[in-house]
Chain A
């Protein structure tokens, strides 16, 4: 929270001290200063003082965070805490939402993400995204994966394209399951296969960062385990930010974990620290299941 609003709350707080005591855990902890280590040396993405507004409502309050190269950062927190909104700032998917406004400095390899001179199309090619619900295009499996390379002119010849499609599907761990039916519609696959197809589609354009917005929430445990293995595999080549509701998942796949609460970034630390020795009361309350 910036100083202006701190003063404002500080001025109103003494007026009714009794009500404060009766309120929930959230409001007892007044300071939303991020604890832990939000910054790192080898940062791929740098976010400084990010504020996001939906029309008049503020969804993200003054969040600063780095995401390092070849690192998986998990973002956890109760529903409506702004973690998806924050993730969608990173490849400007929030642009498609009417009335959404993003403030602050966001950079990818020290180049600004927002700004009048930035073209959003190449940015999104560098920062890919996998969504909560598998959303394969109503095209064949091959065409789904080939879509990105085609629009970006990555492959000029059919053989090149074939190679990219095969590689992407192999990396997404889907190749052996679909290699005999590449011309069948992608919508005909099972939920877990569809999600891996979407991951293959995202890595086919060789992005540098992959954003995942609850990629396993629509999947069964076996499909989830496969995706988690895949995330660990992908870390060698990509920087990954993942939003998840499952704390076990965050613990399994990420190196660092960021805990969001009501639009504030409360705590960022090594995943192990967050789950074994949380430094902030809210984080502790959340991971021990007292709310959320």
Chain B
């Protein structure tokens, strides 16, 4: 039986188990004179039976699907007489066998491959049958077992709740495990990179030119992996973005929270947050096609030389993108400042602006700082705008009118197009990714810590 069919059948069994458990409990309750005589409501008995029936079988199915292919492959390959030496050769051979078994191999198959393919088909069919049988037996057997164990004293609710707590825990762990998984995969690839390029050269080198020679006799493409120009580029673009986003975002938050009437606020806040919904790629071409030429012309008008792709253009547009981040978070913390503080300040004869500057903002400052730090980590990780508007040249410069490149842009260019996964060029992307990951992790950690500390103050 195919896996989807099996899955559907299992679902049906689970439903039947639920119904049986439910009706059995309901009948028991009637026989004893009311629900109060049962240890739990009938629906819990139903769920209890359904869990016994479905969960172990489902787990078996999942484990089976994970280990099915590797085991079959090992069995098939064991029977092959002349095994290729390299891993790639073995992969190729197995792919040939698979194609032969599926019947889409062109040309004549060697007898060895043909025999192996036949073995593969047999094994697969056998495995499928075994899988179906085992899953169904487990499901029906455990369902029946649960029904046999039924008694009105059975604390079904507690058992069901325990299982659901474990399921909830599993879902919560998924996100954490993903993060750990990403971190580990990036970490191991980075370690491979650091075997060919020293850490010190990567962290402190001033020259970035990741082209590697493909042949020994090639010249001029030796590869240099000094990431400092990328870090400075990232810092500059992010700094420009924050220069735009923090004042504009903060002031719009102050306006919305303190000055705007209810009606203005009801309209302006969602409109401002639309900015956050614009896809970054749209910001990207806006930056590249509209803002960058404008920056160049403006610079030319005051007699400065600006390149067609500049840190300034990318930073300005990124700043606009981040405004709703800053304003929305700041607006929330400003609103969280108790009205009694404003009353206190106004009651002493402060003007509204004095109240805001000297009482409300200082009281909200930790939360605002937290919001700004979150925005910074967003700016550092932003890719699309800088790919399109900041350029690719890894210049080590402090001039915002020159083109710079950022960590994210280099990761993109290193991994886009033809690639060999074991060259330092490709692996460099993982090292950059690791740096990016760590820095945003630290920033987020600090930001959340600051925000949390602030919350404790007024609750």
Q: Does A23 contact B (CB under 8 A)?
A: no
B338 shortest CB reach to chain A, Å: 7
Q: Does A59 contact B (CB under 8 A)?
A: no
Decide: B346 and A96 in contact? CB cutoff 8 A: yes
Instruction: Name the interface residues of B335-387: CB closer than 8 Å to any CB of A.
Output: 338, 340-351, 354, 358-359, 362-363
A168 shortest CB reach to chain B, Å: 12
Instruction: Name the interface residues of B301-350: CB closer than 8 Å to any CB of A.
Output: 338, 340-350
Given contacts A138-B362, A151-B358, A125 and B348 within 8 Å (CB-CB): yes
Binary CB contact string for chain A from 101 to 137 against chain B (1 if under 8 A, 0 otherwise): 0000000000000000000011111101101010111
How many B residues have CB within 8 A of the partner chain?
21
Decide: A121 and B343 in contact? CB cutoff 8 A: no
Q: Which residues of A contact B149 (CB under 8 A)?
A: none
Decide: B344 and A137 in contact? CB cutoff 8 A: yes
Give Cα distance in the complex from A187 to B362, angstroms.
14
Interface residue from B338, B348, B358 paired with A201 (Cβ < 8 Å):
B348
B180 shortest CB reach to chain A, Å: 38
Q: Does B457 contact A (CB under 8 A)?
A: yes
Decide: A135 and B349 in contact? CB cutoff 8 A: no
Instruction: Name the interface residues of B445-459: CB closer than 8 Å to any CB of A.
Output: 457
Given contacts A137-B363, A138-B457, A121 and B340 within 8 Å (CB-CB): no
Decide: A135 and B341 in contact? CB cutoff 8 A: yes
Which secondary structure dominates chain B's binding surface?
Answer: helix
Q: Which residues of B contact A148 (CB under 8 A)?
A: 348-349
Give Cα distance in the complex from A125 to B345, angstroms.
11
Decide: A202 and B348 in contact? CB cutoff 8 A: yes
Q: Does B262 contact A (CB under 8 A)?
A: yes
Decide: A151 and B340 in contact? CB cutoff 8 A: no
Q: Which residues of B contact A123 (CB under 8 A)?
A: 349
Interface residue from B340, B342, B349, B362 paired with A152 (Cβ < 8 Å):
B349
Q: Does A139 contact B (CB under 8 A)?
A: yes
Give Cα distance in the complex from A137 to B363, angstroms.
8
Decide: B363 and A124 in contact? CB cutoff 8 A: no
Q: Which residues of A contact B359 (CB under 8 A)?
A: 137, 147
Q: Does A51 contact B (CB under 8 A)?
A: no
Decide: B348 and A131 in contact? CB cutoff 8 A: no
Decide: A124 and B343 in contact? CB cutoff 8 A: no
Decide: B349 and A151 in contact? CB cutoff 8 A: yes
B230 shortest CB reach to chain A, Å: 41
B339 shortest CB reach to chain A, Å: 8
Decide: A121 and B341 in contact? CB cutoff 8 A: no
Give Cα distance in the complex from A61 to B63, angstroms.
78
Interface residue from B343, B350, B354 paired with A93 (Cβ < 8 Å):
B343
Q: Which residues of A contact B349 (CB under 8 A)?
A: 121-126, 148, 151-152, 205
- Can you list 26 contacts pairing A with B, beta carbon distance less than 8 Å? A93-B343, A93-B346, A96-B346, A121-B350, A122-B349, A123-B349, A124-B347, A124-B348, A124-B349, A126-B349, A128-B348, A129-B343, A129-B347, A131-B347, A135-B338, A135-B340, A135-B344, A137-B345, A137-B362, A138-B341, A138-B363, A147-B348, A148-B349, A151-B348, A151-B354, A205-B348
Report, nearest first, the 5 A-B pairs whose CB atoms are least far apart: A125-B349, A129-B347, A124-B349, A135-B340, A135-B344
CB within 8 Å of B: which residues of A? 91, 93, 96, 98, 121-126, 128-129, 131, 133, 135-139, 147-148, 151-152, 187, 198, 201-202, 205
